[in-house]
Amino acid sequence: MSIPFLSLQEQHIPLRTEILEAISNVYDRNNFILGESVKLFEKQFGEFCETTYCLGVANGLDAIYLSLKALGVKEGDEVIVPSNTYIATWLAVTMTGATIVPVEPSLTTYNIQASHISQAITKRTKVIIPVHLYGQPCSMGEIVSLAEKHSIYILEDNAQAHGATYKGAKTGSFGEINATSFYPGKNLGALGDGGAITTNNKDLYEKVSSLRNYGSQIKYYNSVLGVNSRLDEIQAVVLSIKLKHLMNWTEDRRRIANSYIQLLNDVKEIILPTTAENCTHAYHLFVIRTDQREALKTFLGERDIGTMIHYPIPPHLQVAYRDLNFKKGDFPIAEEIAQTCLSLPLWPGLAGVNIERICSSIRKFYGR
């Protein structure tokens, strides 16, 4: 039996009737854009993240971009981003015309930390974008202090860490404004594209509320140059239903991660993920590292076990960014992670027997 890298079946089959009924209600209401369902989901997701305000937008990239716009980021400003992240974090900065300042992550948490961020701060630094990569929260206490000291904004990229906590508080609640994605494969995923911003700042909330809707608060009166980036009613009803299960699913992700760790702990050739101090991990991905990544990936593939690489090429080496003139060796930690990381199957409902088969195959590869 093949084990795919990701399956949504276990989440979607039990919710089929409820979700299809909610979608059919939207169909009958005939009000598809910025209606009551989007409002309701925004209220629920804001409560979930423990922030006063939440706004649905079209996707995670737009959520980051619109947050940067609301913060007034423009050409000439510098924005600090991790050197190892999904390219969307970088692209949102590029879309504002601001300068990308990459910072190397820790090789144990895979996240950027205050001690390295502080070295990259200049007079032009306007925003730091911590990414809670793979579902592991950044050490937000130190990053918040650093940002306060330098009067810099924090914008969390919370696309991978729905439900994770730092010192008991949810990710997506630390920044001046925060962005997330509901791409189907995320911990809370829509049946298509979706995203959101969360904030306690009423002014930023009002700015994004206008920016996402053509720069208009009153129909046909446009006060700023906005875009069209709205969550739609169908995705909102789906997300409201799935949100009720998110913490159970997160618990299941942790169960699976703990099984992997138990079953692979003595295989010294691989580096297992750890949970950082003061954090709960949301395990969006279970990423191991090994010098024999390609061979292990092939070995598992031959046994019908799906794996993925997050991510094979760091943003600074992407062809799309060749104009920034970065070269190989500029960000050695990001490059090291790109060359050695391998994501194992992990989704709510992944059966214990499958975890055992994956681990025994990995053990076999290393001659155990």
Ligand X SMILES: *Cc1c(COP(=O)(O)O)cnc(C)c1O
- Which residues lie near ligand X (CB under 6 A)? 59-61, 85-86, 88-89, 131, 157, 159-160, 181, 183, 193, 195
Cα three-residue angle 366-367-368, rounded to 5 degrees: 95
* Nearest-approach distance from CB 178 to ligand X, in angstroms: 12
Q: Which residue is nearest to ligand X (CB)?
A: 60
Residue with tokens 């994004």: 208
Q: Which is nearer to ligand X, 56 or 345 (CB)?
A: 56
* Nearest-approach distance from CB 249 to ligand X, in angstroms: 17
* Nearest-approach distance from CB 63 to ligand X, in angstroms: 7
What does the alpha-carbon distance between residue 16 and residue 59 come to, in Å, rounded to a whole number? 23
Q: Which is nearer to ligand X, 58 or 257 (CB)?
A: 58
Q: Which is nearer to ligand X, 3 or 179 (CB)?
A: 179
Q: Which is nearer to ligand X, 60 or 172 (CB)?
A: 60
* Nearest-approach distance from CB 29 to ligand X, in angstroms: 26
User: Which residues pair with residue 100 across a beta bridge?
Assistant: 79
Q: Which is nearer to ligand X, 159 or 305 (CB)?
A: 159
* Nearest-approach distance from CB 194 to ligand X, in angstroms: 7
Dig out the tokens for 322 from the structure: 């060749």
Q: Which is nearer to ligand X, 172 or 362 (CB)?
A: 172
* Nearest-approach distance from CB 35 to ligand X, in angstroms: 21
What does the alpha-carbon distance between residue 50 and residue 46 come to, in Å, rounded to a whole number? 6
